[in-house]
Amino acid sequence: MSDHPAPRLSVLDLVPVRSDQTTGDAVAASLSLARVADATGYERYWVAEHHNMPAVAATNPPVLIAMIAGATQRLRVGSGGVMLPNHAPLVVAEQFALLEAAYPGRIDLGIGRAPGSDPVTSWALRHGGPAGTDDEAVARFAEHVGNVVAMLSPEGVGLQLSGRTHALRATPVARSVPTAWLLGSSDYSARLAAQRGMPYVFAHHFSGEGTERALHLYRSTFEPSAELAAPRTFLTVNAVVAPTEEEARRRARPQQLSMLALRTGQPLRPQPTVEEALAVELPPSHQQLVDAMLERWVVGDPAQARAQVAALAAQHGVDEVMVHPVPGETTGVAAGSSPAREETLRLLAADG
C-alpha cells in the first residue's frame, strides 16, 4: 500500500506503429485505447505531434483529437502538444475553436516550442522556406502563443492592416474556449507559462531531468491571470504495468530499444514486438543506457505501479499524472489492437 493519495490519471499517446502494423492499424489501436481510458475514469487523453518517424503515427493532433473525441463520451481530449513553430497561429486557433464548438468543455490545447521534426520535414512544413524560418518561429514563440490565445476568445481580435482595424475571429459564434496549456522540457516554457498565468506541463516522460527545477520556477514566479488564479500543473511519465513485475519488464523492452535508437543516432524503425526486442543483444554501454531508463519510468505489477505513481505525484506536488503507456506487444496480437497498452491503463486505474 502507498502512503500517498492516488492522483488523478490521464493518458499521453504518440500512436505507436509496430513492425506488424499499418498506420490504419495504429490509429485503430489508439481509438480502442482511448475508449478504455474513457471507461476507466481517466481525466484527459492527449496526442503528440511528431513528423517523419517510422514508429509514430501522431502527426496531426487536431485530426486525431476529432476522431478520439468522437469515439469517447467524457474524456477531455487534447494535444500534447501542437508544435507552434510549425503552424500559423490563426490555423491553430481555427482548428481548436472548431473542436471546442463540436465538443464543448472537452478540448485542451497543449502548445510546445520544439519543431518536433527533422530538418527535411521542417523545410516541407515551411513550403520550402529558408532555413532561418525555423529559428524565427522559435524566437517569436511567446508572441505566437499570445496570438493563439487571443484569437480563441469569442470576441476575436482586431487586426491592424493598411491603417484600418479588421475583426478577426477563429470561429463565428464561439460559446466556450479550449483550455490552453504550455508544455516544455526546459526552463523557458516554465517562465513563459508563469508570466502569462497559464497552466504548464513538464515533459518528465521524455527528459526525466530538471523536473523539480522547472516546476519550482513555474510556481515561484507565477502571475495570476483572468483565466487562472494559481499555478496548475501535472507530470507525464512512461508506464508499463502487467500482472507481474517480470512481465512488465519484458514488455518495456521494445520501447527501451526505440528510445535507445533515438538517443544514439541509430536508424529509426517501427517498434519491434516483445519477442523481437528480447532477441536483441546490446553492448554493455548501451545496456547501461537502457537500464537507466527504467529508473525514471513506472514499471511493475499493479500495486508497485500505483505506489510509484503516487510517490511521483507526492514528490513533485501534483494531483494529476499523465501516463504514457509504452508496453510492447507480443507476436500474433491483432494488428488493430494494443492489449498490453490497454492492460496498463486498466491495471493502473483499478482499486486495491
Identify residue 185 by its one-letter amino acid code.
S
Q: What is the pLDDT of residues 4-49, one digit of tens each?
A: 788 999 999 999 999 999 999 999 999 999 999 999 999 999 999 9
CB 25 within 8 A of CB 31: no
Task: Tell me the pLDDT of the chain averaged across its residues.
Answer: 92
* Angle value at C-alpha 42, between 3 and 181, nearest 5 degrees: 100
Indicate the pLDDT class of residue 139, thresholds 50, 70 and 90: confident
Q: Is the pLDDT of residue 172 over 90?
A: yes
DSSP-derived letter for residue 85 is G
Contact 13, 322 (CB under 8 A): no
What whole-number distance in Å separates Cα of residue 241 and Cα of residue 123? Answer: 39
**Helix 23-39, helix 61-71: angle, nearest 10:** 50
Per-residue confidence (pLDDT) for residue 10, from 0 to 100? 98
- Asked if pLDDT for residue 51 goes beyond 80, the answer is yes
* Grid cell in block for residue 304: 508497485
Query: What per-residue confidence (pLDDT) applies to 125?
Result: 82
Task: Give the confidence band of 126 by pLDDT, cuts at 50, 70, 90.
Answer: confident
Number of Cβ atoms within 10 Å of the Cβ of 293: 17
**CATH C-level class of 8-349:** alpha beta
pLDDT category at 352 given cuts 50, 70, 90 is very low
pLDDT for position 62: 98
Cα separation of 222 and 337, whole Å? 42
Confidence of residue 123 (pLDDT cuts 50, 70, 90): confident
| Segment 140-168 mean pLDDT | 90
Neighbours of 37 (CB within 10 A): 26
Residue 54, all three cell numbers:
517510422
Residue 131 has pLDDT above 70, yes or no: no
CA distance 260 to 251: 15
Q: Dihedral of CA 145/74/299/218: which sign? A: positive
pLDDT at position 117 is 67
How far apart (Å, rounded) are the C-alpha atoms in residues 259 and 297?
13
Query: What is the amino acid identity at position 282?
Result: L
Q: Say if residue 130's pLDDT is above 70.
A: no
Average pLDDT of the residues in 56-67: 97
| pLDDT tens readout for residues 259-316 | 999 889 999 999 999 999 999 999 999 999 999 999 999 999 999 999 999 999 999 9
Phi, psi for residue 227 in degrees, rounded to 5? -90, -25
Phi/psi of residue 155, nearest 5 degrees: -75, -20
Please say whether the beta carbons of 200 and 218 come within 8 A: yes
pLDDT at 127: 65
Mean pLDDT of the region 111-135 = 72
Helix (H, G, I), strand (E, B) or coil at 11: strand
User: Can you give the pLDDT at residue 32?
Assistant: 98
| Spatial distance between the Cα atoms of 192 and 232, rounded to a whole number of angstroms | 14
pLDDT class of 142 with cuts at 50, 70, 90 = very high
Say how far apart CA 179 and CA 108 lie, in whole Å. Answer: 5
Q: Domain-by-domain residue ranges, the chain?
A: 8-349
pLDDT per position as a tens digit, 175-213: 999 999 999 988 999 999 999 999 999 987 776 678 899
pLDDT of residue 162: 84
Asked if residue 133 has pLDDT above 70, the reply is no
Percent share of the chain, pLDDT over 90: 79
Question: Grid coordinates 468522437 are at which residue?
Answer: 70
